[in-house]
Chain A
Amino acid sequence: MSEWWTYSLSDFLLFSGRTYYRLIELYNIDIWPVQSVALALGCIIVALLWRPREGQGRFIAAILALCWIWVAWAFHWRHFVTINWAAPYFAYVFAVEALLLIVFGVVRDDLAFAPGSLWHRIGLTVVLFSVFAQPLIAPLVGRGLLQAEVFGVAPDPTAVATLGTLLAGGRRALWQMGVIPLMWCILSGAVTWTLGSRDALVIPVVTVVVLAAAATKTARRA
């Protein structure tokens, strides 16, 4: 691509905010009642993170892997592709994240929770936010409940919940399985900002919180 420095994200954004959130609405209608199952899975993750015991990391990783596979197939592959020809690539990346969660989280059991630690608390707070607060953002900013982005079925809260879980689950887990959710949050934050969404700051703020917590965690252990 020549004169690449003259391009901005808006040059690559194929759709308007209205079209994107309407897509979320139609997706929610299409997949109902999967959202209630996803919400239940989110509650299970929160409960397991609240008082983690040995072996539960595998279970949490398996739930998250299931969510990433669902979002890859149902959201990116089947719905987002109708307005974004890049969606199949996103589907592949989300499937890779599911694979990473299975390999490192389920098979190798690399999620090592430290209940009571600052990062565990921050991670749990981020997960609580993604499961219970993120679906409420759409109605709060006037888009309506049908356009709610729900953990486990929509990409943003799924990525945020994964980052929160990995932050609580140890430094190694974060670097093994956190790169893709982090990249997604950065991309999604940039897109919502470019779309001029009223909640454009939400994902960037959460991402900065996770990154700052991860950085201090790494610094303290160094």
Chain B
Amino acid sequence: MSAVASPPPVTYDYDSAERGSPARRELVELIRYRDLLRQLVSRNIKVRYKRSILGVAWSVLSPLLTMVVLSLVFAALFRTTVPDYPLYLFPGLLAWSFFAQTTSIMAVDLIGGADFWKRIYVPRTAFGIASALTGLVHLGLALVPVAGLLVFYHRMPGWSLLTLPLAAANLAMFTIGVGFVVSALARYFPDVIDLYQVVLTAWLYFTPVIYPASIIGERYRRLFAVNPVSLLVDGIRAPLYDGVMSRSIGVATVVALATLATGWWVFTRSADELPYKV
């Protein structure tokens, strides 16, 4: 009897008792489901414009019109401090809108995806990442008219333009990180999403988007310097408006990576409890 070798161990594809890192497991699954990401992004974009005549043109038009309205209101105020005010306002506003809208929508889309993930296994980060990628597509489209503004104001962008993709990646990583934290909170307390809108309003006034950083008094510079969104907005705006790369792009990259990692960790750690809550 003792000569009988023990049977080969049976391997299971899924074991609920497996105690790996949820953050790592989720990443592996998300890569496996990358085609799902594609489909979700394409659904988001198609559905948004399905019933409009202008279609995707709205992605270009709608922020452009917002910019025109804000320019009319604030151009007079900042005429002396900020030359070519619309060109200053537009890239910053786009970066800010991407951040504000994506972080809000991520939580909503996660809850909205409950129809799926309550019935079948789907990596739960897929919905948030898909919202962010959708936002990036809209951001890219909305940046097109900036070329027109550059021509209009006779500005020649330099090599610093090459830092734009990195700046956009930083903005996206930071946004996804914050979005995951908001999502993680929102599934325990539904009113977090409403509360977050108030936070966003305050956050916008705290970020040099509509006004130039130069009008911040010496006393408050320190306070404003800790706002990471300022760095990320500057990364997008500096190459387009100032024609130089953002001086804080290195710091912004570190902050973005750290925020993404934190958000990912917080979200995946509690993702297993999701079906119990929503």
Q: Real complex partners, A and B?
A: no
